[in-house]
Amino acid sequence: MELSTIHGLRDLLANREISAEELTNQALEKIEKIDDKIKAFVTVTKDEAIQVAREIDQKRSKGESLGPLAGIPMALKDNMCTEDIKTTCSSKILYNFIPPYSAKVYEKLLGAGSILLGKTNMDEFAMGSSTENSGFFPTCNPWDLNCVPGGSSGGSAAAVASGEAVFALGSDTGGSIRQPASFCGVVGLKPTYGAVSRYGLIAYASSLDQIGPFTRDVTDCALVMNAITGHDSFDSTSALVDYPDYTRFLVNDIKDMRIGIPREYFGEGIEPEVEAKIREAINKLEELGAVVEECSLPHTQYALPAYYIIAPAECSSNLARYDGVRYGLRVEDADDIVSMFSRTRDQGFGIEVKRRIMLGTYALSSGYYDAYYLKALKVRNLVKQDFDKAFEKFDCLITPTAPSVAFEFGSKADTIAMYKQDVCTIPINLAGIPALSLPYGLVNNMPVGLQFVGKAFGEGNLLRVAYTLEQNSDQTRLEPSLEGVK
């Protein structure tokens, strides 16, 4: 039996048709069989996973109360701290780091009964759009091993798409959940900033980072959201609001819902075949009863440059802690402490991380702070105001998730071309609002992602629209053949 959805496997587990240990062994066997080609995982926690699975089976046999995800195998992006399990951020500078505590989301998933299979590969410190910037190795797209899985959460997306894990968590700073979800043909949700605790998430850009799920379908997305959302006193940016049961939004009905189509997301840079698939999905939603209308988000064109001031500035500050003194890599043969600092950082960080640290340090430097960083923050506010105005009229917005389907390794060697891969996702992070990527058909035999954008804490509307489209279209459930992998 192939690994399937959370809701399908949960019924099999509850009816004792399969045990948690059997399911976990099945997942581990698949990882052992195909991950040498996919390379989704940095660390596999085989012994720990089997032990937890046995404990869950024992509790079930005794009739004890179990969590909503009991027995379901999952994976975590390797920038989420896991006590006593290596957490590297796919960086040489943290190659041997074992955290003394766990991220809040990991604690929540353990409490819900989920089983950690391992930690997934990523662009180093979450900086990239292809997972080519991993300090260890690139991850391959299960649809085509010559193509990237997207980034920075490429390992998590590839693990779910290939069936190595039932679901996974990633982090999204400028599109790092939604873009790889699009490239790999799975569901990916970036929640509202503050809806999911960032405690234990190793920071890239603290005002933009947000943890969210990768799943096989929309129902599973709602189930994982139920497990990971909520206020956390250990996270000062965590929102103290009432969080709903997200499964109650899984309603096959969008009659009279108002959907906006921002014209700025269908301009230069969007591949015509991708745009055609998105418009096909929009027409389908209109057939299903939605009221669709074009709209404008006029400051969208400034989002990308503003992001590449704000995110590197925060990165420069956050990554200053990696100095070879407290944890991770240390160059031993330095002549003095200053030499040790500089040589450790030079050897420990990759090219893209160094680039962003330098960009951010420059933007924050004396004489340039007002000209660059402060101006970028003002632009960020204008982008947010555009969305606020749009949501006075619309229940959700629809855009492409990415301007193209997955591309071949090395084909975006130009830095600007790579940065433009996040042109459809970055504005959402600047505004702090939720967005969901849903697979919708293929272009050149590779998945296309459809992005639903909602107002703050409006994840329910996104789930409702995506679920309705999923129930009424055969283009939303995509499965790679894994040719050349098995």
Annotated catalytic sites, by residue? Answer: 77, 152, 176
* Residue whose entry in the numeric block shows the structure tokens 């499964």: 247
What does the chain come to in residues? 486
What is the SS3 assignment for the chain? Answer: CCCCCHHHHHHHHHCCCCCHHHHHHHHHHHHHHHHHHHCCEEEECHHHHHHHHHHHHHHHHCCCCCCCCCCCEEEEECCECECCECCCCCCHHHCCCCCCCCCHHHHHHHHCCCEEEEEECCCHHHCCCCCCCCCCCCCCECCECCECCCCCCHHHHHHHHCCCCCEEEEEECCCCCHHHHHHHCCEEEECCCCCECCCCECCCCCCCCEEEEEECCHHHHHHHHHHHECCCCCCCCCCCCCCCCHHHHCCCCCCCCEEEEEHHHHCCCCCHHHHHHHHHHHHHHHHCCCEEEEECCHHHHHHHHHHHHHHHHHHHHHHHHCCCCCCCCCCCCCCCHHHHHHHHHHHHCCHHHHHHHHHHHHHHCCCCHHHHHHHHHHHHHHHHHHHHHHCCCCCEEEEECCCCCCCECCCCCCHHHHHHHHCCCHHHHHHCCCEEEEEEEEECCEEEEEEEECCCCCHHHHHHHHHHHHHCCCCCCCCCCCCCCC
Tell me whether residue 59 is exposed, middle or buried, using C-beta atoms within 10 angstroms of its C-beta: 0 to 12, 13 to 18, 19 or more: middle
